[in-house]
Amino acid sequence: MPTSLSDCKPAARELQRIAQAGGLNPQFHTAVILGSGLGSPGEIAMADGGIAVNYADLPHLPTSNVAGHAGRVVIGSGHLSGVLLFQGRVHSYEGHSLEKVTFVARMLAQLSVQRLIVTNAAGGIAAAFRPGDLMLIDGHWSFANVQLRHGDARGRSCGRLWSPQLIERAKSINTPLTLHCGVYAMMSGPCYETPAEVRMLQTLGVDAVGMSTVPESIVAAERGIDVLGVSCITNVASGLSDAPLDHSEVAHVAGSIDDAFTAWLFELLRLLK
C-alpha cells in the first residue's frame, strides 16, 4: 500500500509520546537527516541522554537496508532539546516509492518542525573539492524521477528551496573543515555515475553528485520548513580519478571527519535554538 499523508500522523504522535514519557521535550523545532557514514552525532546525542527509537517501531516509517544507515531517530536532550536526529534514510533505488522516501518530511510537518538539515555523502565534481570537505547546497539538478504525488510542489518554483539564511549561519561557524557552496545533482542510483555522466554534469555547472536529498527537501520546503542541505564530499566523482569507487570509501572518509563534523553540526544546532 502506498504511504499516504495521513499515515504520518501516528508516527508523529508516537515520537511525541516517547519523548514525553522519557522526560524530554516533545515540541521539536529542528530535525537532522544524517546520510551515509554520518551517524556519529546521533551516537553522541544518545550518550548525552537522548532516546533512540528504531524506525521499525514507528508506524509506517520505512527502513533502509543500506550500510551506514542505522535506521533510528534520536530524540535530543540537554543542549539538543527539541532536536530530532535521523540516522539514515531510505532511497528510491532500494525500491521505495517517493511517498516513502518523503515520509519523514511529511512527518516533520505534522510535528511543526521549523528547520531541516539534510546531509548526504556525495562525489566531488568541482576541481577545488577534496574528500572530507563539506558543500552547502545552494542549487540542485534532479536526474531521478522526483515528480511527487499529493500535489507536492506542483507548479511551484524550487528556486528558493535552499535557505540562504541557514547557509549564512552555517558558514559563520569556525571549523577545521573546508566549506564550499555549490550545486548538487541527484542521480537515480544505485550505481555510481559514469564518467560520461560526470562530464555532462560538469558542463551543467554541477559541483557534487549523489543519490538522495532532493525529494524530501522539496516536500519539506513546500510545507514551510526551512531547509539546509549539506554534502560531505567522500570521493572524487567517477572519471576524475584513477581510484575505483565503492561504498567502503564513502564510509571511511565520512568516518575520518567524525569529530569535526559533529562539532560543527552541534554548534550550528546551538545557534538555531
Binding residues: 36, 69, 89-91, 121, 193, 212, 235
Q: How is 104-155 classified by DSSP, letter by letter? A: HHHHHHHTT--EEEEEEEEEE-STT--TT-EEEEEEEEE-S----STTTTTT
**Ramachandran region, residue 113 (left: φ > 0; alpha: ψ -120 to 50; beta: rest):** beta
Give the three-state DSSP class for 198.
helix
CA 29 to chain centroid:
16
CB–CB of 114/226 below 8 Å? yes
> Which secondary-structure segment (H or E) carries 69?
none
φ and ψ of 40, to 5 deg: -55, -40
Nearest-angstrom CA–CA distance, 203 and 9: 43
Annotated binding site for a purine D-ribonucleoside: 193, 235
Per-residue buried b or exposed e for 67-87, using 16+ beta carbons within 10 Å of the residue's own CB: ebbbbbbbbbbeebbbbbbbb
Annotated binding site for phosphate: 36, 69, 89-91, 121, 212
